[in-house]
Structure 1
């Protein structure tokens, strides 16, 4: 494609995140260039151990020399800049730069470093050095941070700025005001950086590690900073080795950051080391999984190590080099890919910020005043539960938020999921209702829509017509082993039984006549060893609303799936999804194979990525179990006439009449090209 900026093409970004005596020019030649990276996020040149920031007087000349050598090798240079913490010498020289708690204690990071305040005089020093470095021949700048501690900084600079913004003392700040203050502070800092950079060299790329699928606890709000960066990124590839970390964790973050990028490039930061163990690398198997999941979903790859480059001799390090060679060889197939999915799940930033957080006690008083006493659910856990259902069943889906719901893009979807999306503005809610009236379908759970965008309780009146509800009564809570649901046909047909385990939290609702019952649930039992109960309450219903349908679950079923993983509950949700929208593909591959469909408009072709994650039920995974003899049935917007395979990774045959691809054996990763 012509007229693309350099960073709009597929990037393989090297990030050596420390320097303990290595020669930086050796790193450039032996690791970056020989390792088949095409871009370097440069920390080690100016580093003191793991900390690096740019000082023009100290660093300019060596940076110029490094850039010359990098250009000889066609390596783009992005300058790393730590904007969130400093070492003790800088703290001692500038104590006013450091964030301060309510108790007037300095805020530390990583035990031995000090958190910088972006409202302090440190910003003046940063902006001065920024102006100078932008005159050099750098290609980009990466801001590591900027963030504010979750409890909020209370230094003198923040005290003054808060008073100027809100007309009151920071010591009297409400939770909501502190969230707004932190977001405003970070956004203004990024905006000023963007403006100074553009005034000198607008071709320089600026990006940072954006917040993804979490509340705005640090002030870094991806929606707010997006206009002031050229690329978005998230640390979805910082994978932990513990029994609570799921390998399904990564994909929803990639999908979310793609949506927030609005067509801009996006990158997944992938650590070569097992987090939090900087000197213990991932296995070759897990390295490939992390790498290929990133690029399969259209992201650039950032591969970082937090130890000297000798660690790349490990199997994981060598696997990363091999992945780079594959990506380099077939980079055309990773260029400007996009989703054509018909299903989306909502990550509600408003719910994340204002619903599950500790807010003013008057919120509970208000709840009593309006007669709405429903106990809160968990948006994040519910979101993760639904994402796991779709990933395991190869459902192709997007992750969207409030911005999408209030734009024309909402109409590209046949089905949208709302997992405990409690907080909704009037604008969002009316847009959703219009979408359903026009023929769209939704799945909503628990108290979705019962709060406004700032977390104030409004009750069920605003959603009762959409859900087909007469009344929402109190929350019912179940002890483990005392909740069961019966599922009606045809939704029970593929289950092990028409009786399944039920969620542990439920809103007791009554419904209007004509609302279809899909699953009923018992009232809480006296214990697990009693007679089987009557199914007295509705758990899942379908309400026709205009031309569309609202599938409503009064229980916290997404949270329940996330915490337990009961297969029949997942099968039921998958059946509801696939009955109401095009999933694009159906596959007989096991749930441990991730299947990703992407479209390249400029080449008019699809790529179908198969990522095998079938291990030996332990982590870290040392080896994969090959998957043999499975099929993929296509239901794409376009007819497919030809199927080829990159690098002959698998043998694939295509039955055009039945739109079905047969695969003989998948070892680790394969890319099929569909035209």
Structure 2
């Protein structure tokens, strides 16, 4: 993780109200807006920062450059809100739309627009908006608008919704610039084996980085001392690549970033909110995240108080500053505002306790952008991101505290201090990274690796063997496909057209390509430490490798050949289902199967048991926190010089599908918790209830019971002086 800077520490502690310019979303002729009343509501909710829509297709300030919002009617909404917020100590950062603009600008400058390969303008999908190309004079035009705001308004920062491409651009500006730098035209077909296509993808990243640098330079020279925050949307690579928003690149330039978490709007599971937050925290820069205020696409209907509290807690526990979006500027849902007031009030009252501790370094789970890019190729989220998501879910379900780390963290400094590292099919690993991992294990670090980890170099070129084969205790042989010898065996067979079912045939049908599943056959006796609780089980897996166990390492179980549903198990292979090894002072478990991807598809309890047992074995110690609670309770552990904070988030609610709004959680009572501590404990304080809990020390672990758990609780173990 990059070294943190405290220059803009207030960004990390933000209680953010994201105020869209009301002229943009409502009819001014039917609704009047008073800046003082809007800021009254912001203050009522205990927010300390406003992100205000100032330039969104139209200018909502008196610009001499950008087209003014038709409904502005002579007002300067940006100045009105600044004047209302400043006396109350509420900071304000304007929102600047960065890339997509209204048709007025397009009609004035049609050659500035991004264009598809067939020459058509690139539409955004919103009414009257198109996407402008940053290689055109649009770049200088947008920077002039930003300079205008910085020069004329007392803003506390600058927020960019981007910069971004909207897709692969073939405008004359891009073709000319790319041709001059690479001496070729932009490729017309996406081909990840074509060096020209690879060069074009990387070039787009460089263009966006240079745009952001130009914007930051303009802000810093016009109004020195204010931060620039940009929107990176998500860490999921498919969208990052399409829009050229690679957070690891852009956060080297900006002072902070925002990531979005459209939980109900995009039908996302709860863990995706935390995933985005942990990823953003790994960049080392201050992180804001959306905290959805409304239900789905309905902009004027607030979520239930329970849903709002859960979203807030998930972000706070994973070190993101929650930004409520869109803030209720007209007070249509008082129960929502009351829930915001409660959450932000909790944060304000406990700021010193909450922000004096950072996530404990127990397990590192790398997210490898280079693997998503070059190994993932045309399906990055399916081929790679899914495996990271699966391991993320499994660790949360097992109540294991962990951190996400990034490619640069696969280094001596980045891995130092962790009890264990999980390389979940981190396929693309450089020689330098492999050496750092080797040294980490040799010095006593624990390692779990899966599937094709390290089988490819950092640009996706396949090697003949793992460079970490000596660490894994296994040599690569092959990556078999999940097919049944090119035919459909008797049983529930699907014909080649996959539309007609044939049941209990006496002869196989030739030429089919059925769905098949492989299995790990676990011996009935515990041959290796992590088999406890799964002896004799048959564990289903998907993608897997065949490996040969090296002398000194130990194979566990065996992989069976793929078989169809409703058919006998495939024959045993001579290849192990897992390999354990000791390397230097460290312990290693290598799983030939891509168990992270498997868990992302189907939650198989055996996999969580195997993973937890393997973690405890390779780390050589019990987990730093343990609770007796359902897997629907998430646990995060933060520690600092004077305290350790335990976050408990209770997702045991009444929603069934990800899109369902949670209206009520099942209250859990008498939840036992144990926390490993290295210092004497003075007090165990329940921040929500504002009361001290009874506790006892035994064997270096502090035990206490949380009386009841609704949406969330934060328990602070305060150390004696």
- Structure 2 residue 694 is the aligned partner of structure 1 residue 670: no
Give, in angstroms, the shift of residue 241 of structure 1.
Answer: 5.5
- Structure 2 residue 199 is the aligned partner of structure 1 residue 177: yes
CA distance in 2 between partners of 1:14 and 1:569 (Å): 41
Give, in angstroms, the shift of residue 637 of structure 1.
Answer: 4.2
Task: Out of 111-120 and 381-390, give the one that drifted further.
Answer: 111-120
Task: Out of 80-89 and 269-278, give the one that drifted further.
Answer: 269-278
Contact 1:53 1:81 in 2 (8 A): no
Contact 1:339 1:598 in 2 (8 A): yes
Secondary structure, in 3 states, of the residue corresponding to 2:159? strand
The partner residue of 2:652 within 589, 610, 614 is: 614
After superposition, give the CA deviation of every residue in 1:122-144 in whole Å (9 maximum; x if it has no partner): 11111222223222311011100
CA distance in 2 between partners of 1:294 and 1:170 (Å): 41
Contact 2:531 2:613 in 1 (8 A): no
Counterparts of 1:208-227 in structure 2 under 5 Å? 208-210=230-232, 212-215=234-237, 216-217=240-241, 218-227=243-252
Going from structure 1 to structure 2, the CA distance change for 1:76 and 1:35 (only over 3 Å counts) comes to same
CA distance in 1 between partners of 2:653 and 2:544 (Å): 36
Unaligned runs of 5+ in 2: 1-5, 69-74, 189-194, 484-514
Give, in angstroms, the shift of residue 35 of structure 1.
Answer: 2.2
CA distance in 2 between partners of 1:336 and 1:114 (Å): 45
Going from structure 1 to structure 2, the CA distance change for 1:593 and 1:143 (only over 3 Å counts) comes to same
Superposition CA RMSD, Å = 2.8
- Structure 2 residue 552 is the aligned partner of structure 1 residue 509: no
- Residue matched to 2:598: 560
After superposition, give the CA deviation of every residue in 1:629-649 in whole Å (9 maximum; x if it has no partner): 221111244443321111416
* TM-score (normalised: structure 1): 0.89
Going from structure 1 to structure 2, the CA distance change for 1:241 and 1:267 (only over 3 Å counts) comes to closer
- Residue matched to 1:521: 559
Contact 1:641 1:656 in 2 (8 A): no
Contact 1:523 1:537 in 2 (8 A): no
CA distance in 2 between partners of 1:454 and 1:176 (Å): 10
Secondary structure, in 3 states, of the residue corresponding to 1:483? strand
The partner residue of 1:93 within 97, 104, 108 is: 108
Secondary structure, in 3 states, of the residue corresponding to 1:185? helix
After superposition, give the CA deviation of every residue in 1:58-90 in whole Å (9 maximum; x if it has no partner): 779553343222101211010100003112222
Contact 1:612 1:669 in 2 (8 A): yes
CA distance in 2 between partners of 1:636 and 1:653 (Å): 16
Task: Out of 633-642 and 604-613, give the one that drifted further.
Answer: 633-642
After superposition, give the CA deviation of every residue in 1:206-251 in whole Å (9 maximum; x if it has no partner): 101125432241212222222322222211x321357x63211122
- Residue matched to 1:574: 612
Going from structure 1 to structure 2, the CA distance change for 1:353 and 1:4 (only over 3 Å counts) comes to closer
Give, in angstroms, the shift of residue 28 of structure 1.
Answer: 2.9
- Residue matched to 1:597: 637
Secondary structure, in 3 states, of the residue corresponding to 2:283? helix
Going from structure 1 to structure 2, the CA distance change for 1:430 and 1:6 (only over 3 Å counts) comes to closer
CA distance in 1 between partners of 2:638 and 2:317 (Å): 8
Counterparts of 1:385-400 in structure 2 under 5 Å? 385-400=390-405
CA distance in 1 between partners of 2:106 and 2:9 (Å): 38
- Structure 2 residue 161 is the aligned partner of structure 1 residue 139: no
Contact 1:10 1:334 in 2 (8 A): no
Secondary structure, in 3 states, of the residue corresponding to 1:202? coil
Contact 2:518 2:570 in 1 (8 A): no
Contact 1:653 1:663 in 2 (8 A): no
Unaligned runs of 5+ in 1: 360-374
- Residue matched to 2:490: none
Secondary structure, in 3 states, of the residue corresponding to 1:537? coil
Going from structure 1 to structure 2, the CA distance change for 1:389 and 1:53 (only over 3 Å counts) comes to farther
Contact 2:306 2:665 in 1 (8 A): yes
- Residue matched to 1:205: 227
Task: Out of 324-333 and 589-598, give the one that drifted further.
Answer: 324-333
Task: Out of 278-287 and 337-346, give the one that drifted further.
Answer: 278-287
Going from structure 1 to structure 2, the CA distance change for 1:584 and 1:42 (only over 3 Å counts) comes to same
- Residue matched to 1:108: 123
The partner residue of 1:424 within 429, 436, 451 is: 429
- Residue matched to 1:486: 522
Contact 1:267 1:302 in 2 (8 A): yes
Give, in angstroms, the shift of residue 390 of structure 1.
Answer: 0.8
Give, in angstroms, the shift of residue 456 of structure 1.
Answer: 1.8
Going from structure 1 to structure 2, the CA distance change for 1:476 and 1:514 (only over 3 Å counts) comes to farther
- Structure 2 residue 162 is the aligned partner of structure 1 residue 162: no
- Residue matched to 2:669: 628
- Structure 2 residue 250 is the aligned partner of structure 1 residue 240: no
Secondary structure, in 3 states, of the residue corresponding to 1:142? strand
Going from structure 1 to structure 2, the CA distance change for 1:632 and 1:663 (only over 3 Å counts) comes to same
For this pair of structures, how many residues does the alignment match? 647
Secondary structure, in 3 states, of the residue corresponding to 1:594? strand
After superposition, give the CA deviation of every residue in 1:446-468 in whole Å (9 maximum; x if it has no partner): 11111111112223252322322
Counterparts of 1:115-134 in structure 2 under 5 Å? 115-134=131-150
After superposition, give the CA deviation of every residue in 1:370-397 in whole Å (9 maximum; x if it has no partner): xxxxx99822111111111111111111
The partner residue of 1:644 within 679, 685, 693 is: 685
Going from structure 1 to structure 2, the CA distance change for 1:518 and 1:629 (only over 3 Å counts) comes to farther
Going from structure 1 to structure 2, the CA distance change for 1:588 and 1:197 (only over 3 Å counts) comes to same
- Residue matched to 1:530: 568
CA distance in 2 between partners of 1:461 and 1:289 (Å): 42
- Residue matched to 1:31: 41
CA distance in 1 between partners of 2:682 and 2:329 (Å): 49
CA distance in 2 between partners of 1:532 and 1:451 (Å): 29
Going from structure 1 to structure 2, the CA distance change for 1:336 and 1:219 (only over 3 Å counts) comes to farther
